[in-house]
């Protein structure tokens, strides 16, 4: 069973996942970030754990913090997979397509419905071929 905690991390750090010796894991999320950001960050870190990525820990930095650089042990493919996992978990493709076909097409409205950021929803719509 995963352990979750909220902490006052530096603003550039969104979340962290740590693998514990017994194979379980702990996910910490930045308490100062918006609820929508925290939800995506937790889902992203959960993706690292569920997908059994090799590193014993992962750090998620805010994408708009260009000064942060890549986290230690950064692997582009792992990050893409964790983002895809989080997107699928929070914005199920069938539901998004159904909402889009039903006339709910605005990024802002869809983001509000799924409680994610407009940026995350914009990427999801693009990846689903809806934009």
End-to-end CA distance of the chain: 38
Q: What is the pTM of this model?
A: 0.84
Residue spans per domain, the chain:
1-74, 91-131
Chain-centroid distance of CA 55 in Å reads 17
Distance CA 57, CA 115 (A): 26
**DSSP code at position 71:** P
Give the closest residue to 94 by CA, choosing from 114, 108, 78.
114
What's the pLDDT tens digit per position in 3-16? 888 999 988 889 98
Dump pLDDT digits (tens) for 19-40.
887 778 889 999 999 999 999 9
**Tokens, residue 47:** 């993706």
Kindly compute the dihedral angle of the four CA atoms of residues 102, 106, 110, 116, in this order, to the nearest 10 degrees.
160
């Amino acid at each position: 069973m995963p352990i979750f905690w909220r902490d006052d991390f530096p603003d550039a750090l969104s979340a962290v996942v740590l693998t514990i010796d017994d194979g379980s894991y702990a996910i910490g999320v930045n308490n100062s970030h918006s609820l929508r950001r925290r939800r995506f960050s937790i889902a992203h870190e959960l993706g690292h754990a569920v997908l059994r990525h090799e590193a014993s820990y992962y750090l998620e930095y805010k994408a708009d913090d260009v000064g942060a650089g890549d986290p230690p042990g950064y692997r582009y493919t792992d990050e893409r997979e964790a983002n895809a996992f989080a997107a699928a978990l929070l914005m199920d493709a069938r539901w998004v397509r159904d909402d889009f076909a039903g006339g709910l097409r605005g990024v802002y409205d869809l983001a509000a419905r799924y409680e994610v950021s407009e940026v995350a929803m914009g990427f999801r719509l693009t990846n689903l071929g809806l934009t």
